[in-house]
Amino acid sequence: MDVKDFWYDLPEELIAQDPLEDRASSRLLVLDKNTGEITHKHFYDIIDYLDEGDCLVLNETKVIPARLMGVKKDTGAAIEILLLKRKSKTAWECLVKPGKKCKVGAVIEFGDGLLIGTISDIVEEGNRIIEFEFDGIFEEILDKLGTMPLPPYITHTLKDKNRYQTVYAKNEGSAAAPTAGLHFTKELLKRIEEKGIRLAKVTLHVGLGTFRPVKVSDVNDHHMHSEFFQISKEAADIINSTKANGKRVICVGTTSTRTVESAADENGHLEEKSGWTEIFIYPGYKFKVLDALITNFHLPESTLVMLVSALAGRENILHAYEEAVKEKYRFFSFGDAMFIK
């Protein structure tokens, strides 16, 4: 399977640079995965597509202000780092730019010495392990010095950093937002629950895979980066009983999808679980838990386009994306949404 099979043309002006004033007013393309039929709605209409007894799986991860700007102590050179994975109380795996200047032993100062990082190791893909020194609480220092790590295709400054968090974000640890969830308001979620739809809350901390393109031509050769996930007994019970009652498990976003599909046994049964996942879902994959998906529009040739193609078929997805381009939908993180039913 060739990576080029997942290419589509996207005019640059359709990449959303700013979030909408009202989260739920974004557009919603509804795609029937069996027939390929397309309907154009608004996100607040999603409630009409959810039935009593269905369950929504939400990723409660919270984005940390993971981008830090510092200077190399010996030369004063500007260094940018992105925190990816916490390895211990004081050590993180980081993406460092420019990496060539940051060999093992290099010392980087942030905020005039409020935070000091020493590179202790170079690991997979050139990422660095940085050991931090600081007085006080790391999260508070990060809140003061760090900025939201917006994807590279967003060039505008984010005025309100809460707009890059879901309204239900709770567990800190992500380097990027689970963007399908950005469309929900507290009011919409309340109406959904009042209709008899249950909410199963899981966590997957979104990592480097979000930023890295597929660099191999054969899809089968691509290796996903590992991301930490957690499913509580309560969430597992909600999902299991939904399946047992013949109702639908509807994942909000590809991160929730990867969480439940990673944790399920061969029969689609879930138990309380946490760990690391490298699951790569592409056409040919048989879903064990997920029945329907709320998602955003994804980058051409990305693993996320492959995931939605596994659910709805490559031809249906590419046709839906062409239709979205023609109808001038807004794309990517702050863009419009799609419901694959």
Q: What is the pLDDT of residues 260-312, one digit of tens each?
A: 999 999 999 999 999 999 999 999 999 999 999 999 999 999 999 999 999 99
pLDDT on residue 17: 96
Q: Return residue ranges of the chain for CATH 2.40.10.240.
A: 67-147
Give the CATH fold of the 3-63+160-340 domain.
QueA-like (3.40.1780)
Token pair for 199: 């909410």
Rg value, the chain, Cα: 20
Q: Decide if 249 contacts 242 (C-beta within 8 A).
A: yes
The rounded distance, in Å, linking the Cα atoms of 142 and 77 is: 21
pLDDT on residue 280: 93
Q: What is the pLDDT of residues 68-110, one digit of tens each?
A: 999 999 899 999 999 988 899 899 999 999 988 899 999 999 9
Q: Return residue ranges of the chain for CATH 3.40.1780.10.
A: 3-63+160-340
Give the CATH fold of the 67-147 domain.
Thrombin, subunit H (2.40.10)
Q: What is the pLDDT of residues 4-19, one digit of tens each?
A: 999 999 999 999 999 9
Q: What is the pLDDT of residues 192-247, one digit of tens each?
A: 999 999 999 999 999 866 656 788 899 888 888 889 999 999 999 999 999 999 99
Q: Decide if 310 contacts 282 (C-beta within 8 A).
A: yes
